[in-house]
Amino acid sequence: MSDGPMMVTVSGLLRGQDLAGDAQATLDDEALRLDRAGGAVRLPLERLDGARYAVGTLELFMARGDVITLGGTPALAAVAADLERRAMAVPEVTRSLRGLGSTRASPGAAHDQYFGPLLAARRDAESATSPDRARASFDAVPLRAAMLQRLREMAAERHPSNPPERRALEAELSEVAEPMVAALGALERAQDALAASDDAERFARWRLWAATLRSTFETADEVWLSVVKVLAGNVPTRQRSRVGRWFRRTPKEDA
């Protein structure tokens, strides 16, 4: 909490333990701590399924079904907002990627073209002013359309005047992209479940969405490594003909 610990009144049960009484509440990125006369209680954010604030009262919904209520101060409105910000932080999605920006993944125009929609979504999320806006930055439907469009553009750029070869390359790229499309489908389901959740389960749904988002980026990264191989093995006709001329024997060499 930005203003440090605050005194609150507590009610409710935690795994059968009655928490009724006064406590000093302290919130950090990992847990909400309640220092009470009967001993300190630590509520990890990862075990908190949701929270609801109304009229000076903050309800905390724990993973096993317990509900703990804090009251006694109007400053709980700020606590509720701070709790949401910490519990619904946008996850790191690029740190573990092997293909993004690496030499082995052939960085260049096609690399930047492919990862462009993903990185743009991450930038938008980083500047979002609320969890809902951050989630919307990664909307799976437009993200899937943008990623598939980038693959079609790669095929068109590789074969601008040869429709049959362009279509063949599009088909091959679409095939290797199937895991990414499936991952974006899972992301869409996770975002829909998050949007439909109520306060009591919103944090839990966010964690599931965040895990799915990380998995989506990892899958897209793996797909790019396959795309690199497809592009490397797909030489435009005009280049193949030049290669053929370079290695064609002359009459003297055959004599």
Contacts of 96 (CB under 8 A, 6+ apart): 218
Residue 255 within any structural domain of the chain: no
Residue-wise pLDDT tens digits, 33-84: 999 998 899 999 999 999 999 988 999 999 889 999 999 999 999 999 999 9
CA pair distance 49, 61, nearest whole angstrom: 6
pLDDT score, position 237: 56
Answer yes or no: do 81 and 107 share one domain.
no
Residue at which a domain ends, from 24, 52, 87? 87
Closest among 167, 139, 189 to 234, alpha carbons compared: 167
What domain range is 60 assigned to?
Answer: 6-87
Closest among 67, 57, 53, 75 to 6, alpha carbons compared: 75
Averaged pLDDT score across all residues of the chain? 89
Answer yes or no: do 196 and 239 share one domain.
yes
pLDDT score, position 102: 65
Residue-wise pLDDT tens digits, 207-250: 999 999 999 999 999 999 999 999 988 876 555 444 444 334 44
Distances 30 to 1, 46, 48, 192 between C-alpha atoms, Å: 12, 8, 11, 26
Residue at which a domain ends, from 87, 116, 135? 87
Residues facing 62 on adjacent strands: 48
Answer yes or no: do 239 and 215 share one domain.
yes
Domain count, the chain: 2
Closest among 239, 223, 244 to 159, alpha carbons compared: 239
Answer yes or no: do 152 and 179 share one domain.
yes
Side-chain half-sphere of 142: how many Cα atoms within 13 Å? Answer: 9
3-state SS track over 169-208: HHHHHHHHCHHHHHHHHHHHHHHHHHHHCCCCCHHHHHHH
Task: Answer yes or no: is pLDDT of 169 > 70.
Answer: yes
Please tell me the least confidently modeled range out of 27-31, 180-184, 243-247.
243-247
Token pair 């507590």 in the structure block, residue: 10
Task: Answer yes or no: is pLDDT of 253 > 80.
Answer: no
**Could you give the maximum distance between any two Cα atoms of the chain, in Å?**
103
Residue-wise pLDDT tens digits, 94-104: 888 887 876 66
Q: Is the dihedral of CA 199, 205, 210, 216 positive or negative?
A: negative
pLDDT score, position 109: 87
Residues facing 32 on adjacent strands: 27, 43
Answer yes or no: do 116 and 201 share one domain.
yes
Answer yes or no: do 66 and 108 share one domain.
no
Closest among 231, 111, 248 to 170, alpha carbons compared: 231
Residue 248 within any structural domain of the chain: no
CA pair distance 90, 77, nearest whole angstrom: 22
